[in-house]
Amino acid sequence: MIRLPAIVTSNFTRIGRCLLALSVLLASNRLADASDLRLSPIVKAVQKASPAVVNIHGRKTVRNRSVGRPAQPSERLVNGMGTGILFDERGYILTNYHVVQGVASIIVTRHDQSTHTATLIARDTPSDLAIIKINTNGPLPIVRTGDSSSLMPGETVIAVGNAYGYQHTVTRGIISALNRDVQVNETQRYGNLIQTDASINPGNSGGPLLNIDGEMIGVNVAVRIGAQGIGFAIPSNDALDIAARLLFEAGPPTTLGLDATTRYSSNSSRYIVSRVHTDSSAAIQGVKSGDVILNVAGVPIRNRLDYERALLRTTSGTPVSIALQREAKTFNVHLLRSGSAVLPTPVTKRAWDELGVRTTTVARGRLGAHQKRYRGGLRVVAIREGSPAAKNGIRPHDVLLGIHKWETVNLDNLSYVLSSSEYKNKTPLKFYLLRDQQVLFGHLATVPGP
């Protein structure tokens, strides 16, 4: 047998070890490359958004009719399901109103499988949106929002939801079209919807439609019965504006003495002061129309929903720290919250003192299926305990359509009612209101002032 010199054997050994190390390194790189390929933009988007998505379950009573003659109404219990989106760390959730409508106990399951009982905070029937809230021991993850005004047909979108009760089901597709108007039934019509071919099934309602960056750009709301690949979502800009209004109406009426509006541009948004109330805290501190609100009470502000969320952290009579920008210069002011959502007027004071209601104007377009019949109304945002309104069954969120023979489209109409001889003679006046798309009526036993 031929023996190689020791130096040659040593070199072979070193070469073998190097080849082995190289093969291990190449294998490791292949595994890393495979892992990177699997972690696609869609996977990353889902991972970002999923912790803020919740599943909603509940039982509700529905009415049906037998096929016999005459038809006899009956009731049955059904299991409801849907999806919600956490938009505030304290447990505030945005969903579709039809998901929680009539549900006695709203059960929410979070991404970590913890379950909570939610409370209905506010709802808007024409848009089919509602806010519910769960209690939490600490801050919860919230969804990141995108600008739905910049969406393009053909771009990739992702739906996450409780499809047929299968929690956190993920589907993907593209934006098929924008600005769709959809009539679902006799009482529910949606406008300006996003159309997508991402699979949206029963149970997806109220869940997010995401862009490729994992930002919510829509709220899934409806499917086309009998069609495949046709689903619809409310644009996020519209949904956030409605959610902000619902938070405002649900909370105690307060103001910082200014009005502002959200402006979108280049995939970003700013919340800009549009009006400063005369003699208000904002006016005294020198706030001007055109100032950009950057921060309120430590919360960064991009839109009205951020603003209303920030005000939830403050209390009436307490100075609120506001960071503003004017012509590229940043400055801070401390504004005092007043106890009224609007500057008090004689009619609003009388309505509160004598009827026990505080209202905001509702345009005809917000009345859903009833907008052809009524020109608008006054939404009840607060009820004084023990007042005539409370005793006669009027509730917050009701829309007052008319009193006696007069419509109540605005405060001028209400002022006319309060000045009428029928009201002054303490005549019980018939009122009409809209509640959950039903027109109801009653008789208001008024207590006019001196």
Query: In angstroms, rounded to a whole number, what is the distance separating the alpha carbons of residues 362 and 128?
Result: 16
Interatomic CA distance for residues 33 and 4, integer angstroms: 42
Structure tokens at 196: 């997508």
- SS3 state at 326: strand
The burial class, CB within 10 Å (0-12 / 13-18 / 19+), for 57 is buried
- Decide: 157 and 200 in contact? Cβ < 8 Å: no
Whole-Å CA distances, 337 to 256, 258, 290, 399: 5, 11, 21, 27
DSSP 8-state assignment for residue 339: S
C-beta of residue 259 within 8 angstroms of C-beta of residue 275: yes
One of 57, 98, 116, 370 is an active-site residue; which one? Answer: 98
Supply 117's token pair.
């009982």
| Cβ 182 vs Cβ 232: under 8 Å | yes
Closest CA to 401 of 371, 422, 426, 424: 371
| Catalytic status, residue 334 | no
Which one of 128, 147, 291, 306 is the catalytic residue?
Answer: 128
Q: Which of 199, 205, 236, 338 is catalytic?
A: 205
Contacts of 92 (CB under 8 A, 6+ apart): 86, 121, 131, 132, 133, 247, 309
**CB within 8 Å of 39: residues ≥ 6 apart:** none
Q: Looking only at Cα atoms, what is the longest distance across the chain?
A: 129
Q: Token match 């010199």: residue?
A: 5
Q: Is 199 a catalytic residue?
A: no
Paired with 394 in beta bridges are none
Q: How far apart are CA 11 and CA 284, in angstroms?
A: 87
Is residue 98 part of the annotated active site? The answer reads yes
**For residue 388, which of 421, 420, 423, 419 has the smallest C-alpha distance?**
423
d(CA 185, CA 271): 36
List the catalytic residues: 98, 128, 205
